[in-house]
Amino acid sequence: MAQKASAKKSLGDDPRFAQAVQNYEAGLRAMQEHKFDKAKTYLQKVVASTSKELADRASVHLNSCNQHLDRVTTQFKNPEEHFDYAISLMNVGDYVSAREHLEKLLKQVPKADYVLYGLAALDCLTGHVEDSLKHLDEAIRLKPALRFQARNDSDFQNLAEDPRFTELLYPDPGAEMAAGHGDSEAER
């Protein structure tokens, strides 16, 4: 009887086992919240841990996560539907998953103005100002009407005081006219 008590105590005192238990619990919580990417990360750590029993349990849940993730990625009928899903992730604050989906979409449809616009908004929300300006500039070049949408988009409030952002949204019409006028004088 004394041997069993000391064996249990040594398991509880092992920091690697305690970490595996924490990861397992965090993985289960993430699964309950339908955050399968997050759950997968935690459960993979448990599978790689030293606890055989916990690793076996985690691998069952890991398979379930993989099945859910496979279903999500294959259920999109078109890029627009996939984009809507990525934006919904962004709206609930799951920026990591939103970025993964938007980057996947950008590879599929590299000239999609809405994907570039979505990345610009996400970059702004996550503090990546330079990337945000770059993506927004690319999106506006493809679809100038996005300039008007960005003016009223609260996702870009972090850039409101940046002069580069202002230049993107409110280009100087005189500069374009002067450039065009200068070319015609050179031809004379």
CATH number (domain holding residue 136): 1.25.40.10
Asked whether residue 69 falls in the same domain as residue 107, the answer is no
The chain-wide mean pLDDT, for the chain, equals 84
Range of the domain at 20: 2-74
Asked whether residue 8 falls in the same domain as residue 37, the answer is yes
Per-residue model confidence (pLDDT) at position 180: 46
Least confident of 28-37, 61-70, 141-150: 61-70
pTM, two decimal places: 0.57
Q: Which of 74, 106, 121 is the last residue of a domain?
A: 74
Burial class (CB in 10 A: 0-12, 13-18, 19+), 75: exposed
pLDDT top residue among 179 and 116: 116
Read off the pLDDT band of 157 (50, 70, 90): very high
Total domains present in the chain? 2
Asked whether residue 49 falls in the same domain as residue 102, the answer is no
pLDDT digits (tens, 9 = 90+) for 50-62: 888 888 899 888 8
Asked whether residue 67 falls in the same domain as residue 9, the answer is yes
